[in-house]
Amino acid sequence: MSAEDLAAIVPAEMGRADRVARRRNARTALAFMVPALVLVLGFLLMPVVMNVWFSFTKWKRFQGFNEWAGIDNYEKLVGSVNFAAAFQNTVIWVVASLILPVVLGLSLALLLRNMRFEETAKTIFFLPRILAPTAVGVIWYYVYAPDGILNNTLSLFGLPDDVGWLYQDNTITYAIIVTFVWQMVGLPMVLLLLGLAALPKDPIEAAKMDGATPFQVFTNITLPLLSPTILIVVILSVLAGFTAFDHIWVMGTSFPGKKSLSLTVYMYYEGFSNNAWGFASAIAVVLGLIVLAITWVQAIVQDRVDRMLK
């Protein structure tokens, strides 16, 4: 057989063998995916579809889930004072969890790094994370109580000691965020410590040789190289802050009408306390859309970071 003959036959033959192999592979792959597919369809996709469906119904208590409401639920949302408060608080939560865990986690990581008791300190800061959020909420409820530790401590320094931390509209959200961050900051810290440890040493040493001060090394080299880890920490924190529930549910003093409401709590309240399932579903849809938007922004930023470090 000449080289030309071979060249003519080989692609066709290879093409057929390839197609057969690919078909067989696809079938095997499908077989392996069936259990996961069933779970995803049954427990993820279907509830989402049903949720969107119910948000357009008048379902309340045991009736109305087959009555079409159009966009009534959404109209009601837009006009609702509670929804406005919950939305505003959620924004505060997201902004706070965009900044605090990263800043605090990074500060802690830099502080503890190469410290003599790094392991011990790391454990201590991580410890709150393993407690049940509701338990933490209860404990901090007493910390913030009118005659609790916080006010008592303030009085030692002659500061105003009659703040009703969890009873005042202007303090409650921030008080709960402090608790939340206190419990959650261990993970960002550990992730950032790992990220720092994994950074290549050479460019940092090269920057030192290039005349950079420690601060310049940090801002020009360490931070940019650490940005993938920072991004992960930001995403985890924002999603955690966005979906925060337990702390608010436990520490919030009464619902609704109090300034501590978040979208998650408001949704839960309307559904499980008020039995307004259609309305609660509409809140859930809004929540879902916001998460989608956050994920989208994250993908864009991720792409930027990847390209910067590529």
Partner 1 sequence: MARVTLTNLVKAYGAHVAVKGINLDIADKSFVALVGPSGCGKSTTLRMIAGLETVSWGEISIAGKVVNEVSSRSRGVAMVFQSYALYPHMSVRSNLSFGLRIAGVAKTEVDRRVAVATEILELGPYMERRPSQLSGGQRQRVAMGRAIVREPQVFLFDEPLSNLDAKLRHQMRVEIKKLHRRLQNTVIYVTHDQVEAMTLADQIVIMRDGLIEQAGTPAEVFQHPANKFVAGFIGAPQMNFFAGTVTEAGQIRLRGLERALDVVPGRFDMPRAGAPVTVGLRPEHIVPQDHGLTPKNPIRFEAEVLLSEALGNETLITSSIGAEEFVTRMLDPRDVADGERMSFALDTDRIHLFDPETERSLRKGSDN
Amino acid sitting at position 309: L
Whether the Cβ atoms of residue 237 and residue 199 lie closer than 8 Å to each other: no
User: Measured in Å, how far apart are the chain's first and last C-alpha atoms?
Assistant: 47
Q: Which of the ranges 24-32, 144-152, 176-184, 208-216 carries the binding residues for partner 1, by CB under 8 A? A: 208-216
Checking phi first, is residue 61 left (phi over 0); if not, alpha (psi -120 to 50) or beta?
left
In the bound state with partner 1, the residue whose beta carbon lies nearer, of 162 and 202, is: 202
Q: Which residues on neighbouring strands pair with residue 246, listed in sequence order? A: none
Indicate whether 116 belongs to the interface with partner 1 (CB under 8 A): no
Amino acid sitting at position 215: F
Indicate whether 230 belongs to the interface with partner 1 (CB under 8 A): no
In the bound state with partner 1, the residue whose beta carbon lies nearer, of 82 and 302, is: 302
Q: How far is the CB of 227 from partner 1 (least distance, A)?
A: 8
Kindly tell me which residue out of 76, 129, 208, 259 binds partner 1, with binding defined by CB under 8 A: 208
Indicate whether 67 belongs to the interface with partner 1 (CB under 8 A): no
Closest to 177 (Cα-Cα) out of 86, 257, 81, 90:
90
Q: Report the alpha-carbon distance of residue 297 to residue 7 in Å, rounded.
A: 49
Amino acid sitting at position 136: V
Kindly tell me which residue out of 115, 132, 297, 308 binds partner 1, with binding defined by CB under 8 A: 308
Indicate whether 303 belongs to the interface with partner 1 (CB under 8 A): no
Q: Report the alpha-carbon distance of residue 240 to residue 129 in Å, rounded.
A: 13
Which residues, 6+ apart, have CB-to-CB distance to 141 below 8 Å? 166, 250, 251
In the bound state with partner 1, the residue whose beta carbon lies nearer, of 19 and 304, is: 304
Whether the Cβ atoms of residue 287 and residue 90 lie closer than 8 Å to each other: no
Q: Which of the ranges 55-63, 124-132, 283-291, 302-310 carries the binding residues for partner 1, by CB under 8 A? A: 302-310
Kindly tell me which residue out of 154, 203, 231, 235 binds partner 1, with binding defined by CB under 8 A: 203
> What phi and psi, each to the nearest 5 degrees, are found at residue 57?
-115, 170
Q: How far is the CB of 302 from partner 1 (least distance, A)?
A: 15
Indicate whether 211 belongs to the interface with partner 1 (CB under 8 A): yes
In the bound state with partner 1, the residue whose beta carbon lies nearer, of 27 and 307, is: 307
Q: How far is the CB of 110 from partner 1 (least distance, A)?
A: 19
Binding site for partner 1 (CB under 8 A): 200, 202-203, 205-213, 216, 220-221, 224-225, 308-310
